[in-house]
Amino acid sequence: MIEIYTQNLEETWFAVAINKQQIVTSSFGPTQKTTINNVLGNVPFNLPFQVFHEPTASAKNTLATLKDIYGGKEVNTNLSLATANLPVYTKKVLKTTSTIPLGYVTSYGAIAGAVGGGPRAVGNIMASNPFAPIVPCHRVVRADFSLGGYGFGLKVKMQLLGREKRGFSSKKEIEVNGGKLTVFPVENVLKNFA
């Protein structure tokens, strides 16, 4: 059975759905109801679930990690994600997105170049990311450094990126899928909105 836990941490609600020590989905939001609904939208329809309003110690640690990611902190995100039932292409996109380091962004097109497919396909996967904010879809922007979309709203995307600013000044390449993914300092996005 999938266990769903919620917690309000510093005026933001966080939720995580766990099955056999793996995260099935995670989310955050301004209210408990919205956050639970976000999680329920990603829970497989054929599996039983239960919502718990008092998290276990393990769930509290996971929720605290979500809060730290949301707060722009450097965290170890070696969390076990339940990706086995996701389409192969979705797994590739999510795995590549997970490699974008804190303080950097990349484009939908750059991810598509690294995994195949097109920018719109990547955007669709970002729009339905079941592991927000663990898989940092907020770090994926348009090629011109405009925000693109974000399911939690563009204001929230800007706030997340603002908290992740680290003062980096140059792009870098990271290895993914046997190729390279170019990432750029988050400041490239933020200066467009100064």
8-state DSSP, 65: H
The reply to whether 134 and 177 lie within a common domain is yes
Does a structural domain hold residue 101?
yes
The reply to whether 43 and 124 lie within a common domain is no
The end-to-end CA distance of the chain, in Å, is 47
Q: Which band of pLDDT confidence, cut at 50, 70 and 90, is reported for residue 96?
A: very high
89 is catalytic: no
Which pLDDT does position 125 carry in this prediction? 96
Query: What pTM did the predictor assign?
Result: 0.94
* CATH number reported for the structural domain that contains residue 122 in this entry: 1.10.10.10
Residue 49 backbone phi and psi in degrees, to 5: -145, 165
Domain closes at, from 70, 99, 115: 70
Q: Is 8 a residue whose pLDDT tops 80?
A: yes
pLDDT tens digits, residue range 124-148? 999 999 999 999 999 999 999 999 8
- 92 neighbors 126 (Cβ within 8 angstroms): no
Domain region containing 42:
2-70
The reply to whether 186 and 92 lie within a common domain is yes
For the chain, how many structural domains are there in total? 2
Q: Is 65 a residue whose pLDDT tops 90?
A: yes
The reply to whether 46 and 114 lie within a common domain is no
Average pLDDT over residues 60-68: 95
The active-site residue out of 137, 176, 183, 186 is: 137
Reference 141, options 95, 176, 110, 172; nearest CA is 110
Helix axis angle, 108-115 relative to 88-98, nearest 10°?
120
Q: Is 151 a residue whose pLDDT tops 90?
A: no
CA pair distance 186, 36, nearest whole angstrom: 30
The reply to whether 129 and 177 lie within a common domain is yes
Q: Is 77 a residue whose pLDDT tops 80?
A: no
CA pair distance 78, 82, nearest whole angstrom: 12
The reply to whether 135 and 172 lie within a common domain is yes
Q: Is 193 a residue whose pLDDT tops 80?
A: no
